[in-house]
Amino acid sequence: MRSDRAPLGLKIAAGLGLAFMHLPILLIFVYAFTTEDKSYQWPPPGFTTKWFGVTWARPDVWEALSLSVRVAAISTAIALVLGTLCAAAVSRTKFFGREVVSLMVILPIALPGIITGISLRSAFNLADIPFSFWTIVLGHATFCVVVVYNNAVARFRRTSGSLVEASMDLGADGFQTFRYVILPNIATALLAGGMLAFALSFDEVIVTTFTAGQQQTLPIWMLEELVRPRERPVTNVVAMVVVIVTFLPILGAYYLTRGTDTVAGQGK
């Protein structure tokens, strides 16, 4: 039995489920405009846009934002290089332990962040590496590589291997083949993977808590700010920015990888 219309009860249940997931986010936005700055009071006693100005003037916000952007950018860059290389190796060649490598690359995203965090922290301690910007980057790169790898490996699998041979056959050396055939075919997958990796890194809390020294990334800053009862709506303003900054790349990634289901180079 199959019908085109869902029963009314199911529609309502689905609507409630979606509302439950998304209304709290709207609340965050609403509190960014409240006049009450000590507690979250409903309904907000008044509306103001002054918190945007206050946020703009706070150097700690800028510091955290700048750190987050730099960490996300560099982890993404590392992930793009390593993830692509790894995906190419796993999908293009057969070697002993290939499945194991594939699993071990994906593992960091399946492991709870707290495990990754603790293990990295103790590893850094053992190796006497002081916590710094670079330890945060390393921590983030572990899971950023996974998203890039997953995107790239799927595209590599769908790109016919004979394309590379066709390019070589027509006179292109390895570099030219990469430049003119491989890169154009995996570009959207890399962009999508990169955007997802950036978004993941940008709002990461758990691994960061374990791998950061004194620095505060934006999510860490927000976490600390929540327990402090001063200028609370500043946190909400920042939250709004984070939602927008992470949502846009994810949306972009979705649009980039949509409609690429046809097998590239299948040719039949």
Partner 1 sequence: MRTSAVRFDGVSRHYGEVRAVDAVDLDIAEGEFFAMLGPSGSGKTTCLRLIAGFEQPTDGDIVIFGETAQGVPPYKRHVNTVFQDYALFPHLNVLDNVAYGLMIAGKPKRERHAAAEAALELVALPGYGARKPSELSGGQRQRVALARALINEPRVLLLDEPLGALDLKLREQMQDELKDLQRKLGITFIFVTHDQGEALSMADRVAVFNEGKIVQIGKPEDIYYRPEVPFVADFVGSSNVLPPRVVEKMAGQWSHASVRPEAVKLVDAGIGADGLHATVHSTAFIGTATRVSLDLDGFSMVALLPKGARIPDAGEQVHVTWGSEDLHLMDAA
Q: How far is the CB of 98 from partner 1 (least distance, A)?
A: 17
Structure tokens at 149: 């790898």
Q: How far is the CB of 188 from partner 1 (least distance, A)?
A: 10
| 140, 193, 251 from 255: Cα distances, Å | 25, 12, 6
Q: How far is the CB of 175 from partner 1 (least distance, A)?
A: 11
Half-sphere exposure of 254 (CA within 13 A, CB side): 7
Binding site for partner 1 (CB under 8 A): 160, 162-163, 165-173, 176, 180-181, 184-185, 262, 264-268
- The residue type found at 97 is G
Q: How far is the CB of 187 from partner 1 (least distance, A)?
A: 9
Alpha-carbon distance of 17 to 10, in angstroms, equals: 10
Q: How far is the CB of 182 from partner 1 (least distance, A)?
A: 10
Q: How far is the CB of 166 from partner 1 (least distance, A)?
A: 4
In the three-class reduction of DSSP (H, G, I as helix; E, B as strand; rest coil), residue 34 is classed as: strand
With respect to partner 1, which residue has the nearer C-beta, 167 or 257? 167
Half-sphere exposure of 35 (CA within 13 A, CB side): 5
Region at 32 (left for phi over 0; alpha for psi -120 to 50; beta for the rest): alpha
Nearest to 138 by CA among 94, 79, 98: 79
With respect to partner 1, which residue has the nearer C-beta, 121 or 158? 158
Nearest to 91 by CA among 189, 201, 172: 189
Half-sphere exposure of 260 (CA within 13 A, CB side): 22
With respect to partner 1, which residue has the nearer C-beta, 252 or 265? 265
Q: How far is the CB of 48 from partner 1 (least distance, A)?
A: 52
Do 234 and 32 form a contact (C-beta atoms < 8 A)?
no
With respect to partner 1, which residue has the nearer C-beta, 66 or 162? 162
Alpha-carbon distance of 145 to 105, in angstroms, equals: 8
Q: How far is the CB of 191 from partner 1 (least distance, A)?
A: 14
Alpha-carbon distance of 76 to 69, in angstroms, equals: 10
With respect to partner 1, which residue has the nearer C-beta, 111 or 168? 168
DSSP state letter for 180: I
